[in-house]
A and B are shown apart, each in its own frame.
Chain A
Amino acid sequence: MQMNRRRFILTGAVVGGGVLIGYSATRPTRHRRANEELVEGSERFITSFIKIDPNNEITVYVPHSEMGQGIHTSLSMMAADELDAAWENVIVEQAPAIDLFANGDLVKGFAGEFGVPNFLMGLVNASAFTVAELMNLQTTGGSSSVRYTGEYAMRTAGAAAREMLINAAAARLDVPTSELSTELSHVQHNSSGRTLSYGELAADAALLEPPEDPVLKDRSQFTIMGKAISRNDIPAKVDGTAIYGLDAHSEDMLYAAIRLAPVFGTKLVSVDATQALTQRGVVRVIELEDSVAVVADNYWRAKQALALVNATFTETENDNVSSADIAARFDKELAESNGSEDKEVGDTDRALEEAVDVIEANYRVPYLAHAAMEPMNCTVHIQGDRAEMWTSTQDALGMRGRVASVAGLAEENVIFHQTYCGGGYGRRLPFNWNMIDHATLIAMEFDVPVKTIFSREDDMQQDYYRPAVHNNFKAAFDDNSNVIAWHSRFTGPIQVPGASHIPYAIENQSIRVVDGDTHVPIAAWRSVDHSQQTFFTESFMDEIAHRAGVNPYQLRMDLLQEHPRHRKVLEVAAAAAGYGQNLPEGHALGIAVQESFGSFVAEVAEVSMGEDNQPVVHKVTCAIDCGWAVNPDTVEAQIESGIIFGLTAAMYGEITIENGAVTQGNFPDYEMVRMATSPEIEVHIVESGEALGGLGEPATPPIAAAVTNAIYILTGQRVRELPIKNHDFALSNPVAQV
């Protein structure tokens, strides 16, 4: 992808529906605004993201939410390295939720990659947002922060600031810039031995215009990037001082517990709150369009009183809908609709007709909830024409804008208080508005802060879900058992393009999507479409290999001649896992690979069947090519996290619908991998030196197929429907590994 380094101008990006837009945020002047609006005393912003104070302390402002991915540290490392800063004097701050710190680079990155992704396009299509305003978000999602904000904004800002400091030093010392070098937050004039600290130069440098095309370091010049550096957010997370949205607190605060319409899209009809209103601490019962809330002086009191409220909701055509109905609709759609094209290569219909053999398989996955550990919550304090708000979010500016729009306030009059985010995984992105809207509407009834909290049950039953998806496959073979056609039909929508595509050299491919809309709201869920599609495609590839009598690893390698990065991670993971070697009795290895969000990940799962006839995952060996690693320990942590997140979904994850509403309510119904079920994980980072890939999501997609491919060898049963817990493996008929 060609990126113009003169990066603050985005023109001609073709977005989603083909709209040609031109957008210019003249950010070179932004550091001036920052100096006018944000500095105290003699400290100076050198660029929008970097502040240097006279005692040579350097603050990097990070415009992304810290939700455990270590982004505050990684992005600061990128800026500090290009700046040649002394890392021990670098302070990391969350950038405030003001448009000065919007991270439009993310949108620009995606626009170059495959157009603005659906989870952001919603902002354009369904609201007052324009594409220009999309640039004005602080979104953290799509595994994008390091590869877009880091590469295009943070490194550039660091390099630009360094050049400005050198120019300031050249003027001060009256020497050419070519005689100056930088190290550990100082500019040095080597021949005279004179040095000036960045702090001494900051005031002069801030008056200079940032260079349009600062020179970035070569990897061999890195002094901070590439090192396993301790995350700056961790100390506060071990002594209880880290503040999350739920921790907003004031003496006069009120608390709201809320009951939303159990069937999505229905409205409140009537409320009897007589008994609730007599309860201790209850201040008011508030009726909203689709919900009823009890406001009290303590959350527990609000929740207890809410249980005493009788509420009725409108009846709708969805009141009797069950998961079985949805599944039947999906199957009917797949049987009757030709859908729309996702990818067509060659003549798949003809290849299927002329084939010596055809195999067919139907896969399905259920809806999934995000179930972040911090239940959804939002605190809003309306103060006349102003407001303050606190919420854990993946988009501070988006949330600020939403509260302003719901409350009818000017955006700049809403102050967003930054907090750590107790898990996001897509739930806390813009457009999953329900918590924000309800909290705002409730708070508008009061002049004190009101904290609205979803109980765990609300969180699970009022989510925006990973869609349930069905996928029908056919594969055709010639008389030498070579696979010659790949036919895939799946229920949509497509939220992230390309997830259903395969890298394998199969001559004829027909991949089409049919309508999968239901009344159940959906959203991005860690790795988005890759979470289901990789289970489908990497399982069916395994079926093809077994049918062809070729070792599944070898078949992949054979069909990936044009994809060296896939091959390399497969090779590294397989070798490290001992693929093809002797395993403990009763153990088997399953393998899967996927490219997503710019990274290539292969995973090998070592599995045996436990005494309860359920699989035990002993170890997962992972190889990832994410280009190179900014902070290798963070890379490993994200891989471990992504694998366990995906394993939870594969083993247990299932949101079902009965009578139009979600059945599951809390963790026992929606089980998680825990210590006892967590495998050993071994991570191998393959540094190809290519462009940086994402990390938050790419480890999640391959794990389900890696595990079920091993289960097939152990039991002879092909798991074509998740979760695994619903299968009975009592009658095992092991398959010989080919």
Chain B
Amino acid sequence: MATFKVNGVEHTLDIEPDMPLLWAIRDELGMTGTKFGCGIANCGACTVHVNGNAIRSCVTPVSAVEGQDITTIEGLAVAAAGTTSSALDLTAVQQAWIDHQIPQCGYCQSGMIMAVSSFLASNPNPTDAEIDASITNVCRCGSYPRVRKAIRALASA
């Protein structure tokens, strides 16, 4: 049995402890916003938050998140709004992704947004070198120049 919260809802699943969180989220819970890209924690398409910190769910066994709070792209805005304020439709990061017209095919962008959201929460005004070192997600469409512009805009906001 594995028990963890996803976007505030507790789930108890009869699954193997070594099943990666990604496949528990996608195939067991049927939540598809979190993407499969490489399966070896290299591309970042599967990034989710565990207690607010970005992790790559394709190599994180469910046993490692027992009892933890998971946030996926579907729950990001609600998680950011907290329990007291009214629920936001989008976070500032998500809105910046629209303002800068970042996604192309968009498949990597759930993970990219989760990675950048966690990064900016801990480092609200990063240098370019810090962005380079921390945001290592792969975007095959090459949205990187726009991602950088959006991060800079968010940092100066």
Chain A residues at the B interface, C-beta cutoff of 8 Å:
67-70, 230-231, 233-244, 246-247, 249, 251, 255, 280, 297-301, 371-375, 420-425, 453, 455-456, 633, 637, 640-645, 648, 666-668, 672-676, 678-681
Most buried by B among A242, A424, A643, A673: A242
Q: A679's closest neighbor in chain B, by CB?
A: B145
Kindly provide the distance from the CB of B42 to the nearest chain A CB, expressed in whole angstroms: 5
- Docked complex Cα distance between A681 and B144 (Å): 10
A670: min CB distance to chain B, Å: 10
Write the B130-155 contact mask toward A (1 if CB under 8 angstroms, else 0).
01110111111111111110000000
Cα of A441 to Cα of B110 in the assembled complex, Å: 32
Taking a contact as CB atoms closer than 8 A, the residue among A70, A280, A673 that contacts B144 in the complex is A673
15 more CB-based (< 8 A) A-B contacts, given A238-B113, A249-B30: A70-B104, A239-B74, A239-B94, A240-B32, A241-B74, A298-B23, A372-B105, A373-B140, A373-B141, A456-B38, A668-B40, A675-B132, A675-B136, A675-B144, A679-B145
* Contact between chains at A678 and B144 (CB < 8 Å): yes
A297 to B13, CA, bound (A): 14
- Select one of A246, A633, A643, A644 contacting B36, CB under 8 A: A246
* B103, A68: Cβ atoms closer than 8 Å: yes
- Cβ of A641: which chain B residues have Cβ within 8 Å of it? 104, 141-143
Distance A336 CA – B144 CA, assembled complex (angstroms): 46
Bound-state CA distance A668–B136 (Å) is 12
A19 to chain B, nearest CB (A): 36
Per-position contact with A for B109-132: 1 when CB-CB < 8 Å, else 0? 110010000000000000000011
Q: Are A371 and B140 in contact (CB under 8 A)?
A: yes
Are B138 and A674 in contact (CB-based, < 8 A)? yes
Q: Closest residue of chain B to A231, judged by CB?
A: B101
Would you mind naming 25 contact pairs between A and B with Cβ atoms under 8 Å apart?
A239-B33, A239-B73, A239-B76, A239-B94, A249-B26, A280-B16, A298-B23, A299-B27, A371-B140, A372-B140, A373-B141, A374-B37, A420-B106, A420-B107, A422-B106, A423-B107, A423-B140, A453-B36, A637-B104, A667-B38, A667-B43, A674-B138, A676-B133, A678-B145, A678-B148
Quote the shortest CB–CB distance from A603 to chain B (angstroms). 14
Interface string of B24-62 (1 = CB under 8 A from A): 001110101111111110110100000000000000000
Would you give the shortest CB distance from A73 to chain B, in whole angstroms? 10
> Is the beta-carbon distance between B136 and A674 smaller than 8 angstroms?
yes
Q: Check B23–A68 contact: CB distance below 8 A.
A: no
Chain B contact residues: helix, strand, loop or mixed:
loop
How far is the CB of B89 from the nearest CB of chain A, in Å? 8
B131 surroundings in chain A (CB, below 8 A): 675
Interface pair B137/A240, CB less than 8 Å apart: no
B20 within 8 A of A: yes
Given A300-B27, A667-B43, check contact A420 B105 (CB 8 Å).
Answer: yes
Counting CB contacts under 8 A, is B6 at the interface? no
A234 to B103, CA, bound (A): 6
Contact (Cβ within 8 A) A667 B42: yes
Instruction: Tell me the bound Cα distance from A425 to B141 in angstroms.
Output: 9
Our pick among A456, A642, A676 for the contact of B37 (Cβ within 8 Å) is: A456
Interface residues of B in 46-104 (CB under 8 A from A): 72-74, 76-77, 90, 94, 97-98, 101-104
Interface residue from B27, B33, B147 paired with A255 (Cβ < 8 Å): B27
Tell me the complex Cα distance, A255–B26, Å. 12
In the bound complex, CA of A70 to CA of B146 (Å): 15
Given contacts A234-B98, A238-B90, A674-B137, contact A423 B105 (CB under 8 A): yes
Chain A residues whose C-beta falls within 8 Å of the C-beta of B101 in the assembled complex: 230-231, 234, 633, 637
A233: which B residues are within 8 A, CB to CB?
103, 106
Task: Find the B residue at minimum CB distance from A372.
Answer: B140
Task: For A674, give its contact among B16, B28, B144 (CB under 8 Å).
Answer: B144
Using Cβ atoms and an 8 Å threshold, which residues of chain B touch A280? 16
Query: Which A-chain residue is minimally distant from B111 (CB atoms)?
Result: A373
B54 CB to nearest chain A CB (Å): 14
B45 close to A373 (CB less than 8 A) = yes
A-chain residues with CB within 8 Å of residue B104 when the two chains form the complex: 67-70, 637, 641
Majority secondary structure of chain A interface residues (helix, strand, loop or mixed): loop
List residues 5-20 of chain B with CB under 8 A from any CB of chain A.
15-16, 19-20
Residues of chain A with a CB closer than 8 A to B15's CB: 298
A643 neighbours in B (Cβ, 8 Å): 142
Contacts of A69 in B (CB 8 A): 104
Residues in A neighbouring B103, C-beta threshold 8 A: 68, 233-234, 237-238
Of B32, B139, B141, which one neighbours A249 at CB under 8 angstroms?
B32
CA distance A69 to B101 in the complex (A): 12
The residue that A237 contacts in the complex, of B30, B32, B106, with Cβ under 8 A, is B106
A374–B148 Cα distance when bound, in Å, is: 23
Nearest Cβ in chain A — how far from B113, in angstroms?
6
Nearest CB in chain A to that of B94: its residue: A238
The interface residues of chain A lying within 8 Å CB-to-CB of B136 are 674-676
CB distance A68 to B32 under 8 Å? no
A645 touches B105 (CB 8 A): no
A residues in contact with B140, CB < 8 Å: 371-373, 423, 425, 645, 672
Interchain CB contact (< 8 A) of A373 among B27, B113, B138, B148 = B138
Q: Does A240 contact B110, Cβ atoms closer than 8 Å?
A: yes
User: Which of chain B's residues has its CB closest to A647's CB?
Assistant: B142
Determine if A300 and B72 form an interchain contact, defined as CB atoms under 8 angstroms apart.
no
Task: Give Cα A274 to B71, complex, Å.
Answer: 39
Q: For B142, list chain A residues within 8 Å (CB).
A: 640-645, 648, 673, 678
A69 vs B45: C-alpha distance in the bound complex, in angstroms?
20
Contact of A243 among B20, B32, B42, B77 (CB under 8 A): B32
CA distance A421 to B32 in the complex (A): 14
Q: Is the pair A241, B106 in contact by a Cβ cutoff of 8 Å? A: no
* Complex contact B19–A300 (CB within 8 A): yes
Collect the chain B residues with CB atoms within 8 Å of residue A675's CB. Answer: 131-132, 135-137, 144, 147-148
**A-side contacts of B37, CB under 8 Å:** 373-375, 456
A235 CA to B147 CA, complexed, in Å: 16
Given A238-B109, A374-B107, A667-B43, the answer on whether A423 and B141 have CB atoms closer than 8 Å is yes
CB closest residue in chain A, given B16:
A280
Chain A residue nearest to B136 in the complex (CB)? A674
Cβ-defined contact, B145 with A640, below 8 A? yes
- Nearest CB of chain A from residue B87's CB, rounded to whole Å: 12
A243 CB to nearest chain B CB (Å): 7
Q: Which chain B residues lie closer than 8 Å to A681 at the CB level?
A: 145
Decide: B144 and A422 in contact? CB cutoff 8 A: no
In the assembled complex, the CB of B26 is this many whole angstroms from the nearest CB of chain A, namely 8
Cβ B98 vs Cβ A238 within 8 A: yes
